[in-house]
Each structure stands twice: as structure tokens, then as C-alpha cells.
Structure 1
Amino acid sequence: MEASKINWILAIACLFAGIGLGALGYHLLNSSAASLQKLRKRLAERDRELAALREGVDEHLDEVSRLVAALQRDGEALASHLAQDARRLGGKGAPRAGLEPAAAPVTAPEADEALPTPRDYADGTGGTLSEDFGLKSDENTRAPQPPRY
């Protein structure tokens, strides 16, 4: 009879141990599920914030493009107004150079037009890099040099 009591006690102890281990496992798995739920919630909030920021940037860029277009229109209107005033005040009906409204963008000079090459030296012997630049070259004011032997 003693053996059967020990078997029952051992079975009940194993049952409680199993229930305790199961509860512990459930608690550990459930806590990771709760943190996963929190992470999903934070991700959804960030997605909403990102969508709102993108919409704000789109609206900002649309407004900037409208303002740039308005600025260009105002600039063209100002240029035409100046050209009209120049024609009216000039008397000959032709505005001075530079007061005509811009019809085409300014381009680089044509390839067949040869531009002079920039130089880092002066022309001739009396340039700014010569040794006697800025000195008076009047021969009479120079002190006579002794003859060399």
C-alpha cells in the first residue's frame, strides 16, 4: 500500500509540475505576443505619420511650383513693361539693348567664334610681369652706371 500511495503522490506532483511548466510557458509566449502587438501598433502609427509627412511635402512642392510660375510671370510682365517704357521714352521706337523681354535663353558663343586664350603673361617687354614695371623709364633720370671691366 505504501507503494501505491507513493505512485499517487508522484502522479499528483508531476501533474502540478506540468501545470506549472505549462503556465510558465504560456506566460512567456503570451508576453512576446503582447510585445509583438505593441510593435505592430507602433509600426501602424509610424506609417500614418509617414503618409501625413509625404502628403505635406507634396503640398509644399505644389505651392512652391505655383509661386515660381507666378514669379516668372511677374518677371516677364516687368520686362515687357520696361521695354514698353523704354520704347516710349526712347523716341525712336527701339529699346536699348537688354530691355527687350527675353524671348530665348542666353546661349554660349558659337563654336566658330574664336575666343582669345587667357594668358598669364603680358604682351611685349613692358608688361606687368616685367622687372621694371612701374619704374620711371626716363633715360635722363637714371644714374650713370660705371663701366664694367
Structure 2
Amino acid sequence: MEASNINMVLAAACLVAGTGIGALGYHLLNAGARNAQRLKLRLTERERQLTEWKDGVDEHLRGMDELVHRLVEDGQSLRQALDDSARRLGSDAIAAPIAEVPATQEEEDIAVPRDYADGNRGTLSEDFGLRKAGEEEHSPHPQRY
């Protein structure tokens, strides 16, 4: 009888140990699933916040567009009122349409930068920096390249 008691105790211990190991495995494996579910929830929340932000930006840009449109209309109506007043008062200088402003002398004098020198003795010349046999160096410092 003692052998059958040992078998029963061993079977009960194995059942308890198996249940404990199974519960531990389920808990460890389910933690990854809970973490994935938590990440999906956070992703959904971030997407919702991004959509709200985009809608807010769109609304802001529409408002700014409307303000700019009103500003342009106000500028045109102000220009029209100025033209009407100038015609009524007889001033041709203001009533005439504004011509394009001619370029100033400074703008015409500015040259576009070039990557070559004028003439044939520029820095890209083959004999640049070379001296002839009879020339002596006049400067005490060597040339820098």
C-alpha cells in the first residue's frame, strides 16, 4: 500500500507542478500579447492626435487664406478709392497706373561672378605664377596659392 500512496502523491505533485508551470508559461506568453495590445492602443491614440492636428492645421490655413484674400480685396478697394479721389481732384500723377520701377544704376553695375579671369593671364592660365628667367622677386614674401 505504501507504493500506491507514493504513486498518488507523485501524481498529485506532478499535477500541481504542471499546473504551476502552465500558469507561469501562460503569464509570460500573455505578457507579450498584452504589450502588443498596449502598443496598438498607443498607436491608435497617436494616429487620432495626428488627425486632429492635421485638421487644426487645415483650419488654420483656411483662415489665413481667407484673411489674405480679404487683405488683397481691401488693398484693391483702397487703390480704387485713391484713383477715384485723384481723378476727382484732378491729379494725373496718382491717377495714372503705376509703371514698373526702372532698375537703378547700382543694380546694373553688379556683375555676375565668373570662374575665369579677364584676358589671357588669369589664374587658370598655364603660366600663372611662373617667372621669366631674368625676373627677380620684388616682394620679400613668397606668393600664396
TM-score normalised by the chain length of structure 1: 0.58
1:62 maps onto 2:54 in alignment: no
* Deviation at residue 117 of structure 1 after TM alignment: 2.1
1:8 maps onto 2:8 in alignment: yes
Matched with 1:117 is 109
Matched with 1:32 is 32
Quick one: higher RCO (CA 8 Å, sep 6+), 1 or 2? 1
Structure 1 residues 35 and 107: CA distance shift in structure 2, 3 A:
farther
Identical residues among aligned pairs (%): 48
Q: What is the number of equivalent residue pairs in this alignment?
A: 109
Deviations 1:99-142 (A, max 9, x none): 6368xxx5875xxxxx6526xxxxxxxxxxxxxxxxxxxxxxxx
Matched with 2:85 is 85
- For 1:18 and 1:98, the matched residues in 2 are separated by 100
Q: CA RMSD of the aligned region, Å?
A: 3.1
Matched with 1:145 is none
Give the unaligned 5+ runs of structure 1.
110-114, 119-149
Larger Rg: 1
- Please state which structure has a larger fraction of its residues in helix: 2
Q: SS state of the match for residue 109, structure 2?
A: coil
Matched with 2:93 is 96
* Deviation at residue 40 of structure 1 after TM alignment: 2.2
- For 1:79 and 1:38, the matched residues in 2 are separated by 61
